[in-house]
Structure 1
Amino acid sequence: MASINPAARSLRLLQQVGSRCLCPAHSRQPVAVAHNCPSHGQGHRAATRQGYASVKKPTRPAMEYAFEMASSNIRFGEGATREVGMDFLNLKTNKVCVLTDPNLKTMHPVREAIRSLEENNVNYVLYDRVRIEPSDASFKDAIAFAQQHQVDSFLAVGGGSVMDTAKAANLYSSYPDADFLDFVNAPIGKGRPIDKALRPLIAIPTTAGTGSETTGTAIFDYKPLKVKTGIAHRALKPLLGIVDPLNTRSMPAQVHLASGLDVLCHAMESYTAIPYNLRSAPPLNPLLRPAYQGSNPISDVWSLRALQMVVEYLPRVVKDPNDHQAQSQMLLAATFAGIGFGNAGVHLCHGMSYPISGLNKQYKHPQYQVDHNMVPHGISVAVTAPAVFQFTSAMYPERHLELAELFGADITNVKKEDAGRVLADRLRVYFQDLKVPNGIGALGFGSQDIPALVEGTLPQHRVIKLAPLEAAKDDLQRIFEQSLNIY
């Protein structure tokens, strides 16, 4: 397999930004009309769906011209958890809200973190009711706890559910008079920007998947609409992520699997997202520039490296619970992917996963100790991936071929129009070897459920609008149909 040099590719991308053709076919702005493109003459037809207006001199740039890189400080190393008490001591905090879930509260990561707080005489209160796959109700419960105890800093010890809950508790503790939907992503919420610094939050991940220790995103089930949505802003990101491989040693194999699949989709979606400079017009105020900006030369480096690591190490982790090297590398891959997608964003796999989780009625994944039916997030994003990337390959097929090559495909003589099929085939083989549930059918969904799944996807503007090719209602329906069984 040919080696990929992400740094060299990134330099080439930076050099190309000023000279790239900006017609809709190459800007990947979805339309379906013939237009005149200076580079291609009359009748050049775009694989997109909206008109191509005549260019007028703008009062400000017509397209985005900048991207921002934001990430938490990261401390990586075995045993680094023992330092967290000193971190809060250095911050001179008065009362820390420690958040975790009921399964973790007596396990090593939480015990070690609390021991460190106590040894450094840091005052804290413990909230151990975090719901795995949180909801609006569980977010509100944690928010009320933090407000009641008047804490001035936060420590999250757990997986993405815990870290996301801590972000929400931090946000609404800083805005005690805000309505819950004020900061929730539009169109479900108002998408209000965060215009002040929040309290310090330190995150200690115990799963190798979400990368939430690096990002400004908090995801939850919004029960009134039976869909997942979230809150996204750079101000939400933790001050510090302590990434300690000792904290993932107790993860069951199926939790490793689901978490690793989330990393895989983070990396693939962020690398194939619409480029930052073709996403939309720049904001009137940089405060309004979204956390998810589209693919960019820096995120590309992190996303590609994360995918390389997942392809190599996830099968080892699932096969052997004592493969500590593979576990450590998967935890690092999750952080790498978090830096990548936390700035570039994800698209259709994640957008379509939210109704899969929200509309689940009967599925409960093995080895998850929860008292409710649940499709783990990583499973819900993976089951549509083969069909999604076959669809999106119509734009930037070269990138899709690069991804297929990372999964072991020989792309030497593959035509661009076959990029999606080749990548989808490699994904199916990879998933079958890992015994991933065989499509949404294995999760309890049938053809009769697809209209509701489509309707649940359409409001997910924050992510689906980052797809390299616009997915209309009939496209989403076709992707769900192709995902009933995936191998």
Structure 2
Amino acid sequence: MAGRLKVLTLLRTLSASSCQCPAHSSGMLVGHPHSTTSKEDKEYAFEMACSNIRYGPGVTAELGMDVESLGAKNVLVMTDKNIANLPPMTKVVDSLTSRKINFSVFDDVRVEPTNESFEAAISFARAGNYDAFVAVGGGSVMDTCKAANLYAADRDAEFLDYVNAPIGKGKPVTVKLAPLIAVPTTAGTGSETTGVAIFDHIPLSAKTGIAHRALRPLLGLVDPLHTLSMPRTVATYSGFDVLCHALESYTALPYTERQPRPPHPQLRPAYQGSNPISDVWARDALKTISKYFIRSVEDPEDVEARSHMHLASAVAGIGFGNAGVHLCHGLSYAIAGNVKTYKPELYNSSHPLIPHGLSVVITAPAVFQFTAPACPARHKEAAVLLGGKADVKDEDAGLALADVLRTYMQALGIEDGLTALGFGSSDVPRLVEGTLPQHRVTKLAPRQQTHEQLGDILHNSMTVY
């Protein structure tokens, strides 16, 4: 009985220490969009899960030993054309070769992958009977490798079977996947910690994805030396992805307000809403960003700054990989999917693309001004963690966080809004339509949205400064 009382006391303490605004407390205000849901329908538990992480400069040299320990006989290494000729890939090949591991290389991963590039990687993986996978690169490579592993394990599956509803069927993963080791080369996506794979669905001109815990890498080898190869623009955009991961997971709808509760624990989604454990990771990532983000971009040889940002990427990944993200990411999928002619500097892309971190952060000031009334305390705390003022009224919480974000964006040369990316007001209806299917993330926002409100956020993001 004494032990049970201690547990109950701890849970009450955690609940009391969390934000007491309408969206993050147990007592919902009348008129809140979730206030009519019965307690029986709402979630009551959250599950913490992530990949194993090994962090340290030079840790890639241990990859061969890890693969050897798995007993793998035929390994598929995935990367992209850029990384294929850089030191991270050399280190991977050297490590596997030193342990006499048999491996093949697929280097046709598309930066900002599509359903077509996913399917090409899947076909390659299905043809090889691989018993382990290694992903070397940024989020595009890791996500492509996750998808290839899944569909290689389920050879009868059609592509849309596992894609998130309503675009796909959203089938739960019941097949056994081969072990996947991720070697991230950017400080951004945190994909080495999550069970999510994102891609552009060309028929709808919008991003969607596959999400299930079974997709998580077995191990993430976080080697900060790899980030020294990142060009300035890659460091900038991937860093803003880390920033938004932390902000969105920290301000997400609390897990106790997510509904409906799944009938079986295995059906609990990967993105569950903010929770006391994910909050710890989000706060830590924001503190690191405040100290090291700008330094890591301005001086590519600042090993300390780049190392801390690489770790922050994994830390934020653990947080959002369980809590989820919301509107910045939901809107970004439509923005990136509807790219017209924009090509970022130093990406060596043959096709127009809006890098993921850029598509995410471009609406962030407007998004957090919109969500702040649902949870002003969390928005104020996030602003302070990023270097903002502490003495801010609740009604000014959104503006305070937006101003801090604009400071970072301007300091690091982020383009001045959607207009600078080639969009105009006439594109807003199409961008809204591309956002609407992103239920997996948009429903995790602390404040629910109408079509008109999504349009307002986009209109307010046409310019940022």
Give the structure-2-normalised TM-score.
Answer: 0.95
Q: 2:36 is aligned with what amino acid?
A: Y
User: After superposition, where does 1:191-270 map in structure 2 within 5 Å?
Assistant: 191-270=170-249
Offset at 1:18?
A: 8.7
CA contact (8 A) 1:97 1:155 kept: yes
Match of 2:403 among 416, 425, 432: 425
Residue 156, structure 1, aligned to residue 140, structure 2? no
Q: 1:435 is aligned with what amino acid?
A: G
Q: 1:15 is aligned with what amino acid?
A: T
Which residue of 2 is the match for residue 92 of structure 1?
71
Which residue of 2 is the match for residue 4 of structure 1?
none
User: After superposition, where does 1:23-422 map in structure 2 within 5 Å?
Assistant: 26-27=22-23, 45-46=30-31, 48-49=32-33, 52=36, 61-412=40-391, 414-422=392-400
Offset at 1:430?
A: 1.9
**SS of the residue 2:191 aligns to:** coil
Change in CA separation of 1:371 and 1:307 when aligned onto 2, cut-off 3 Å: same
Offset at 1:435?
A: 1.1
What is the rounded CA distance, in whole Å, between the counterparts of 1:253 and 1:318 in structure 2?
Answer: 6
CA displacement, residues 66-95 of structure 1 (integer Å, 9 cap, x when unaligned)? 111111001111111011011111100110
Change in CA separation of 1:380 and 1:120 when aligned onto 2, cut-off 3 Å: same
Q: Which moved more, 1:191-200 or 1:132-141?
A: 191-200
Identity %: 55
Which residue of 2 is the match for residue 441 of structure 1?
419
Which structure carries more helix by proportion? 2
Offset at 1:166?
A: 0.4
What is the rounded CA distance, in whole Å, between the counterparts of 2:271 and 2:109 in structure 1?
Answer: 26
Q: 1:99 is aligned with what amino acid?
A: M
Residue 480, structure 1, aligned to residue 458, structure 2? yes
Q: 1:428 is aligned with what amino acid?
A: R
**SS of the residue 1:220 aligns to:** strand
CA contact (8 A) 2:342 2:353 kept: yes
Which residue of 2 is the match for residue 465 of structure 1?
443
Q: Which moved more, 1:455-464 or 1:61-70?
A: 61-70
What is the rounded CA distance, in whole Å, between the counterparts of 2:442 and 2:10 in structure 1?
Answer: 27
CA displacement, residues 417-464 of structure 1 (integer Å, 9 cap, x when unaligned)? 111111111211221111111111110000010110011001000000
Q: 1:438 is aligned with what amino acid?
A: D
Offset at 1:411?
A: 2.4
What is the rounded CA distance, in whole Å, between the counterparts of 2:141 and 2:270 in structure 1?
Answer: 20
**SS of the residue 1:67 aligns to:** coil
Offset at 1:471?
A: 1.2
What is the rounded CA distance, in whole Å, between the counterparts of 1:52 and 1:19 in structure 2?
Answer: 25
Give the structure-1-normalised TM-score.
Answer: 0.90
What is the rounded CA distance, in whole Å, between the counterparts of 1:106 and 1:18 in structure 2?
Answer: 52
Q: 1:169 is aligned with what amino acid?
A: A
What is the rounded CA distance, in whole Å, between the counterparts of 1:49 and 1:350 in structure 2?
Answer: 21
CA contact (8 A) 1:388 1:479 kept: yes
CA displacement, residues 278-311 of structure 1 (integer Å, 9 cap, x when unaligned)? 1113211111100000000000000111111112
What is the rounded CA distance, in whole Å, between the counterparts of 1:51 and 1:76 in structure 2?
Answer: 43
CA contact (8 A) 1:100 1:127 kept: yes
CA contact (8 A) 2:154 2:175 kept: no
Runs of 4+ aligned residues of structure 1 deviating over 6 Å after TM superposition are: 18-22
CA contact (8 A) 2:417 2:461 kept: yes
Count of aligned pairs between the two proteins? 457
CA contact (8 A) 1:262 1:382 kept: yes
